Amino acid sequence: MADSAKEVTAVSETQAAPYYLSTGNEEALFEHAWQHQLPVLIKGPTGCGKTRFIRYMAEKLGRPLYTVACHDDLTAADLVGRHLIGEGSTYWVDGPLTRAVREGGICYLDEVVEARKDTTVVLHPLSDDRRILPIERTGETLEASPDFMLVVSYNPGYQNLLKGMKPSTRQRFVSMRFSYPGPKKEQAIILAETGITEHRAKQLVSLANALRALKDHDLEESASTRLLVYTATLIKGGFDPVEACRAALVEPLTDDEETVNALMEVVYATFGR
Ligand code: ADP
């Protein structure tokens, strides 16, 4: 594939601050890290609020946000930039990391352990006190703007050992561990996001916690806050709660029919058959 055809999901987001409900001291910690130019690593299961938190903090701190969804084809050039060909000559285009470094933005690498190993080469000098980005292809070495911040996230739950983060890389970051919000907060989030009734929100949260407590099923992931929001959206739209749970809470968790049936038993215990 030609370099220019490769796509990086990089989004510079500058819209109004999204709704975010704090679950601890994460806002203060993140703000301190930003003020002191420390990179941040956020660990936590899928759908527990990591991305929402970073969008909220970027807005709060007034910094542009560049989000990159990492995947196993992602190379250093996807982050740093590349030469493109146009009208007979080549020109340089900054990648999302370079833009954040120049503009004093926040570069958020979601699921960073998915990225190819050569990306760590560019992240290392940016994540210690040098805060530089050497751009091999142009011969430039950029000093990061004082407002630049590197944020990475990953889900330690389902990484295999090979894909876990190298300790030497992990040690470069201030680390924050996210998990699903406690019941009261999770209810408040579902209410705020969907406008469902309080009674339904409460039922959904207790159902999710019952599903999360199941240990004897080989689920890679648990019922997330995101899935609860999806389920509540369907219920709010008029769907029968049991069908909404099947479609938005249970089927997304597994392809195994027996496991679906077992999880549905927990749903019936909450909503009836
Ligand atoms: P992650 O990045 O951890 O996979 P997201 O940040 O995309 O998860 O969160 C998924 C959804 O859950 C959000 O779109 C939002 O609706 C909801 N959510 C989770 N935690 C919170 C929170 N603390 N405040 C507001 N919404 C939240």
List, for residues 66-86, the tens digit of each pLDDT value: 999 999 899 999 999 999 998
The pLDDT of residue 12: 53
CA of 190 relative to ligand 1 center, distance in Å: 10
Residue 107: pLDDT above 80?
yes
**Which segment of 106-110, 133-137, 153-157 scores lowest on mean pLDDT?**
153-157
Whether 230 lines ligand 1, by a CB cut-off of 6 Å, is no
Average pLDDT, the chain: 90
- Say which residues have a Cβ less than 8 Å from residue 2's Cβ, sequence separation at least 6: none
Ligand 1, closest atom to CA 178? Answer: 3
List, for residues 2-38, the tens digit of each pLDDT value: 343 334 445 555 567 899 999 999 999 999 999 999 9
- For residue 142, give the 3-state DSSP assignment: strand
The CATH code that applies to domain 3-177 is 3.40.50.300
Ligand 1, closest atom to CA 185? Answer: 23
CA of 220 relative to ligand 1 center, distance in Å: 19
Our mutation pick for probing the ligand 1 site, out of 111, 225, 227, 228, counting the most ligand atoms within 8 A of Cβ, is 225
Residue 180: pLDDT above 80?
yes
123 closest CA partner among 100, 146, 157, 155: 100
CA of 21 relative to ligand 1 center, distance in Å: 9
CA of 88 relative to ligand 1 center, distance in Å: 46
Query: Has this prediction a pTM greater than 0.85?
Result: yes
List the chain domain ranges: 3-177, 183-271
Ligand 1, closest atom to CA 45? Answer: 3
Nearest CA to ligand 1 atom 11: 226
List, for residues 28-67, the tens digit of each pLDDT value: 999 999 999 999 999 999 999 999 999 999 999 999 999 9
Span 138-165, average pLDDT: 84
Category of 40 on φ-ψ map: left (φ > 0), alpha (ψ -120 to 50) or beta: beta
CA of 261 relative to ligand 1 center, distance in Å: 27
